[in-house]
Structure 1
Amino acid sequence: MTDNAQLDMSGYFLVPPGRLTTAVTWLEMVAPPSEPVPQGGPALKRVEAPDLAWYRALYRRIGEDWLWTSRLVLDDAALAGLIGSPGNEVYVAEQDGAEIGLVELDVSRPGAVEIVYFGLVPEAVGKGRGRALMAAALARAWRPGTARIWLHTCTHDHPGALRFYQACGFVPYAAGIEVFDDPRLSGLLPRSAAPHVPLIEPRRGEPASR
């Protein structure tokens, strides 16, 4: 349900208990990077018609602490239709026989590719694999006819995400605020998820969202 309160563009905006806000930054790249794909990085493999249980498990494993939820709220039919559509490409990153990352591309719009999801499993973070994985993802995204690649990140993401994307060659072009129900209160994600994001309980007798 949509709140009636309007965002005060000149100052603070009080969010009802049970809801979260995050500052969103959109970034784009309009020319392929000149650096070659690093050798020895994760292998990026296209997954045709992804198994739903496999996809949800990897998605949750990577995104739980960053409050990834948009795929978790979909039922089987909706999720299968989305990730199995011709305009959507799912890739798994593998290294030393283990699945360590996920890349999802939206190629449905002529000339533009969106990196919808990009992430590593927790145990692979901080080991220098992200740059190699992004280089491999960009090599897939920069196909004939592509003129622009874009993605977005937010303040609920890894604290180094924005800096990482800029170091990879993406340039910020827009900013915004997202307001949504805290998925930890509904049980969609465990209460222990995203410890860097305060969990604010609704007051007694007040719904989690309005």
Structure 2
Amino acid sequence: MLTDGYHDVPDGKVAMVVTQLEMKSQAARRDVALPQGVTFRKATPDLAWYRDVYARVGSPWMWFGRRRLDDAALMEILNDPEVAVFTLSRDGQDEALLELDFRQPGACELAHFGLTPKLIGSGAGRYLMNQAIGQAWAAPITRFHLNTCTFDSPQALDFYIRSGFTPYHRKIELADDPRLTGLLPEDAAPHVPLIR
């Protein structure tokens, strides 16, 4: 058990505070239109597509969990009929990742949610969250949940709360720094100092 006060993080590691949030009934959605020139669609991802979008959406925020998976393990998740993936496209390129995981009976996990820098600030995030809420609660669930962490955008936690999620638990996650293991380039997540 951790005691109050400071605790050393070993060199080569990163530590993040993870906040777990949940929604126990469908939240009201604030209707917004898609930004001009942006389309929403359900994706049938192959490895190249998923790894590309995951990298472009997640590298600024140090997403690395799916980078740890080999191709077979990742495709097992993506091919599961209880996992749904959606995206937003602009100018013929997919610029968002919405992944809903229904594999736990009666629940949906917002497994991944994010936009590339090309869509951040355009209103596309609110539209995508509306889609996430609608898609999740169209299934027979009693709980919609997600994790976010201190490496995410500073606006993320407040955005999730404004979307109707309630924080219910907090954890500390310690991991090898993915920029030092080669999972991410060293210039990823510049808001997190790189300490060798």
Spell out, residue by residue over 1:63-93, the C-alpha distance to the aligned partner (whole angstroms, 9 max, x if none): 0011111111211111111111122111112
* 1:13 pairs with 2:20: no
* TM-score of the two chains, using structure 1 as the length reference: 0.87
Query: 1:153: how far off?
Result: 0.5
* 1:187 pairs with 2:182: yes
In structure 1, what is the Cα distance between the partners aligned to 2:98 and 2:192?
Answer: 24
Query: 1:9: how far off?
Result: 2.4
Which residue matches 1:25? 19
Query: 1:163: how far off?
Result: 0.7
- Please report the RMSD computed on the Cα atoms of aligned residues, expressed in angstroms: 1.5
Question: What is the DSSP-based 3-state SS (H/G/I as helix, E as strand, rest coil) of the residue aligned with 2:56?
Answer: helix
Query: 1:161: how far off?
Result: 0.5
Task: Identify unmatched segments of 5+ residues in structure 1.
Answer: 1-6, 202-210
Question: What is the DSSP-based 3-state SS (H/G/I as helix, E as strand, rest coil) of the residue aligned with 2:118?
Answer: helix
Q: Indicate how the Cα distance of structure 1 residues 36 and 66 shifts in structure 2: closer, same or farther if over 3 A, else same.
A: closer
In structure 2, what is the Cα distance between the partners aligned to 1:27 and 1:105?
Answer: 15
Give the letter for the 1:14 counterpart: D
Question: What is the DSSP-based 3-state SS (H/G/I as helix, E as strand, rest coil) of the residue aligned with 1:17?
Answer: coil
Which residue matches 2:133? 138
* 1:45 pairs with 2:52: no
* 1:126 pairs with 2:121: yes
* TM-score of the two chains, using structure 2 as the length reference: 0.93
Query: 1:31: how far off?
Result: 1.4
Q: Indicate how the Cα distance of structure 1 residues 179 and 53 shifts in structure 2: closer, same or farther if over 3 A, else same.
A: same
Question: What is the DSSP-based 3-state SS (H/G/I as helix, E as strand, rest coil) of the residue aligned with 2:66?
Answer: coil
In structure 1, what is the Cα distance between the partners aligned to 2:121 and 2:33?
Answer: 18
Question: What is the DSSP-based 3-state SS (H/G/I as helix, E as strand, rest coil) of the residue aligned with 1:72?
Answer: helix
Query: 1:96: how far off?
Result: 5.1
Between structure 1 and structure 2, the one with the greater Rg is 1
Which residue matches 1:4? none
The number of aligned residues is: 194
Spell out, residue by residue over 1:2-28, the C-alpha distance to the aligned partner (whole angstroms, 9 max, x if none): xxxxx5322211111000000010111
Alignment of 1:89-100 (within 5 A): 89-95=84-90, 97-100=92-95
| Structure 1 segments (4+ residues) deviating >4 Å | none
Query: 1:168: how far off?
Result: 0.8
Aligned residues of 1:37 and 1:136 also touching (Cα < 8 A): no
Which residue matches 2:65? 70
Task: Identify unmatched segments of 5+ residues in structure 2.
Answer: none
